[in-house]
Amino acid sequence: MFLKDYLVLIPGIILAFILYSLSQGFNNIIGIELLGYSKSPISTAMIAIILGIFFGNFFKIRESFQKGLDFSKDYILKLGIICLGIQLKPFEFLEFGKIAIPLIVICIVSVLIVIKLIIKKLEIPTRMAYLISIGSTVCGTTAIMATAPVIKANKSEISYAIANITLFGILSMLLYPYFANFYFQGNSLFTGLFLGTAIHETSQVAAAGLIYDQQFNSPETLNIATVTKLIRNTFLIVMIPLFAFLYNRGQTKEKGYSILSIFPYFVLGFVGMIIFRNIGDEVFSTNNNWIDLINSIKSSSKIFLTMAMAAIGLSTNLIDIRNMGYKPFIVGFTSMLTVGIVSILTIEIYVKFFI
């Protein structure tokens, strides 16, 4: 039974890898063969997402592929993020973190205040508003699924919130890398902080950082965006108890939940890879095999992330998004806009007073 459980994952994983390969092929044909660049200026990750959305909505994906696709967009994505840690040094992680944490806190508080004001005007159910707000401010679908039980959200509210986060997350993922490059004039630190705080899902931040890296040759931006998002994910530990208190206050005490069950453990893997890289640099700094291993892990991280993007595209249902209705759409759009504007303003204040 154990082996059988793993075998059912293979078709979906292969499909995600095929879409990655197609994306790489289209990227080379368009960027190198047709446009004549030595290195394609088009992002493979972006092509993978678009191809995934196209095939997922115009062709019926067999049920036999779904488990492998779910595995790809969850575990292969996390593996890709863990492998990204090979590019960082511990002091860089700490340096980004001390800037990112205040920025994240300000963005979370701002979105919560704005959404609180909006739901009174639009008369949106409180539970749906909570799900959209935590999805926008912390870590997208993961935050929604972790919060739903403690506020007793129903399936319809969960589906609406996830569709909302998916729609605006994909839009920001595709647009923000180009906007950030223009606005921050290629500054990798500010661009990475913006992408890491203004985009909803971990996968979407990783994709945006990868798109930026591939378009503007800036692995530093990908690193900073990833670190910022991983720090942001850990705020689940604070936000879910807070939402449980706000929703259930005055009511009988609900069944508890475990902090350990919501902790994003792949963050530890990411940090572990940073430590592994730096110990290896001390011991094998001039060894060619060590350098080759680092380059292989770097390449693998981008393959894993692009496979995850393809799987997410295949799982994105445009009909669900279309059926969402205009009120949740307004809340989601306002959340996206608020977190983006607050992120920019906070970065500008930081530049003015601390740099």
pLDDT at 258 over 70: no
Residue with tokens 């899902």: 201
> Is residue 217 left, alpha or beta, with left meaning phi > 0 and alpha meaning psi from -120 to 50?
left
Average pLDDT over residues 75-91: 79
Specify the amino acid at residue 185.
Answer: Q
Query: Tokens representing 100?
Result: 């990112």
Q: What is the mean pLDDT of residues 105-134?
A: 79
Residue 14 pLDDT > 90: yes
- pLDDT number for residue 1: 45
* Contact between 273 and 82 (Cβ < 8 Å): yes
* pLDDT value of residue 93: 64
Burial class from Cβ neighbours inside 10 Å (0-12, 13-18, 19+) for residue 41 reads: middle
The domain total for the chain is: 1
pLDDT in tens, 321-346: 676 667 777 877 888 888 889 899 98
For residue 57, pLDDT over 80 is answered with: yes
How far apart are the C-alpha atoms of 50 and 57, rounded to whole Å? 11
Cα distances (Å, whole numbers) of residue 169 to 140, 226, 244, 273, 348: 8, 15, 25, 27, 23
Annotate 196-257 with DSSP letters as a single string. HHHS-SHHHHHHHHHHHHHHH--HHHHHHHHHHHHHHHTTHHHHHHHHHHHHHTTSPPPP--
| Cα gap 86→81, rounded to integer Å | 10
- Model confidence at 178: pLDDT above 90: yes
d(CA 35, CA 30): 6
pLDDT mean over 118-133: 76
* Domain with 184 in it: 2-354
Q: Of residues 304 and 93, which shows the higher confidence score? A: 304
**Residue whose C-alpha is closest to residue 293's, from 88, 77, 83:** 83
Work out the average pLDDT over 55-74. Answer: 85
* Residue 252 scores a pLDDT above 50: no
Q: What is the per-residue pLDDT for 176?
A: 94
pLDDT of residue 195: 93
**3 state SS of 292:** helix
DSSP type of residue 30: I
Rounded Cα distance between 341 and 307, Å, is 31
Q: Please calculate the CA angle 189-172-354 and round it to the nearest 5 degrees.
A: 25
List pLDDT tens digits, range 288-301: 888 889 889 988 98
* DSSP reduced 3-state for 42: coil
The per-residue pLDDT for 309 is: 80
Q: What is the pLDDT averaged over residues 143-157? A: 73
- The pLDDT tens digits for 270-318 are 888 888 888 888 887 778 888 889 889 988 988 888 888 888 888 877 7
